[in-house]
Amino acid sequence: MKAMWNERYQQDNYQYGINPNDFMAEQLRQMPAGRILFPGAGEGRDAVFAAKKGWEVHAFDLSEQGKVKAERLASAEKTRIHFKVADATLVKFPLESFDVIALTYFHLPLEIRLAFYKQCISWLKPGGLILLEGFNQRQLGLSSGGPKNSEWLFSSATIATEFISLKILLNEEKQRTLDEGPLHQGLAEVIQFKAQK
């Protein structure tokens, strides 16, 4: 998996663009800046956006190449992010240390996902938020991106149970058109989710 992402991110251009995911951007614009974590941050588009808005940004990704490009983007935008190379199954952060954890198209195998979400909840401060946008199960067969295994995809019903200890503020499956670099283009079936600890 690491080799695949490193190969993908070795390209000069940004595979998912340099602009933030618009759902994440819209959500963060409505909040006072605080401490935020971007798991699976890729080439850093959302992390850099948040840093420019005054957030203290922490991020990680499996790919060394992703880190290189995220830091390059942060430098070009004259801002700073704390980015480390790490595996979601092993990464550690202090308990109750983030105001927001933002998951943008961060798809994991089911068992790993369940364990990782428990960790995320433990890292959130009381009152902190989980923000998530990813492909829902109707994405299979569409060419706009995403894993080809339905277990890696979301549904509003399953995600509600995966974050059952949180207060769900938004949980919507919707169709939208993506324009996020060469690898997220065209009609997509997504889920947008927001929940509070």
Assess contact for 65 and 6: CB atoms under 8 A.
yes
Exposed / middle / buried, residue 19 (Cβ in 10 Å: 0-12, 13-18, 19+): middle
Grouping H, G, I as helix, E, B as strand and the rest as coil, residue 111 is helix
Structure confidence at residue 166 (pLDDT): 98
Q: What is the mean pLDDT of the chain?
A: 97
The predicted model gives 186-193 an average pLDDT of 98
- Residues of the chain with pLDDT > 70, as a percent, come to 100
pLDDT, tens only, 105-161: 999 999 999 999 999 999 999 999 999 999 999 999 899 999 999 999 999 999 999
Which helix (H) or strand (E) covers residue 66, if one does? helix 64-76
The predicted model gives 80-103 an average pLDDT of 97
Structure confidence at residue 59 (pLDDT): 98
Whether 94 shows a pLDDT value over 90: the answer reads yes
| 4 phi, psi to nearest 5 deg | -60, -45
Q: Taking CA 30 as the corner, what is the angle to CA 180 and CA 159, rounded to the nearest 5 degrees?
A: 65
Whether 1 shows a pLDDT value over 90: the answer reads no
What's this model's pTM, rounded to 2 decimal places? 0.97
The domain defined by 2-196 folds into: Rossmann fold (3.40.50)
For 117-133, the DSSP string reads HHHHHHHEEEEEEEEEE
